[in-house]
Amino acid sequence: MIMWENHNTELIIEICDGLRPPIITNAPEGYIDLMKDCWHSDPEKRPTAAEVSKKVEKILEIDRIYISDIGPVKTNNPEAIYKSRYLSDMIKSAASTRSLRSKSIALELDQPQKNSNDKRKFEDNHFINGTGNKKIKPIEDENN
């Protein structure tokens, strides 16, 4: 797969969360299954380079590839880096960012939300005539 999007931690997080590019419908037979195999969420279940090579050889025997039939052409991203590089450090950074975001969201959810405009108090255990309607009791202003 050729990448033309920005290569940043956001993209890495999205890919780790399951983001995959759309699969074109007119791909030669066998390529869609090969793409799905290579995109497996568990890296241990993805095919090796040798297995990919064998699968591509079989596909080429079955059908000849015509570039114009593969799919739409998109323009390249001018910010993309066109050289091989190790992604381990970027993936660790993205995982750390994702973890910090999760912790931040959890902390925000744990904070009690107080509304100073709320002048009513609901008593959960106080019912009117046994009908299940809750009685609303206003909070008395301490300044009056």
List pLDDT tens digits, range 63-110. Answer: 565 555 555 556 676 666 666 667 777 788 888 888 877 777 766 666
- Domain presence at residue 24: yes
Asked if residue 58 is part of any domain, the answer here is yes
* pTM for the full predicted model: 0.40
| Inter-residue contact 101 to 55 (CB < 8 Å) | no
Instruction: Report the mean per-residue pLDDT for the chain.
Output: 71
Confidence band of 45 (pLDDT split at 50, 70, 90): very high
For residue 122, being part of any structural domain is answered with no
Residue 56 belongs to some domain of the structure:
yes
Element (H, E) at 115: none
Provide the number of structural domains found in the chain. 1
Q: Which residues contact 18 (CB under 8 A, 6 or more apart)?
A: 41
pLDDT more than 90, % of the chain: 10
Asked if residue 66 is part of any domain, the answer here is yes
* pLDDT of res. 69: 54
105 lies in a domain? yes
* Domain range for 17: 9-110
Q: Let me know if residue 143 belongs to a domain.
A: no
Is residue 123 domain-resident?
no
Query: Is 98 exposed, middle or buried (CB count within 10 Å of its CB: 0-12, 13-18, 19+)?
Result: middle
Tokens read off for 83: 């050289």
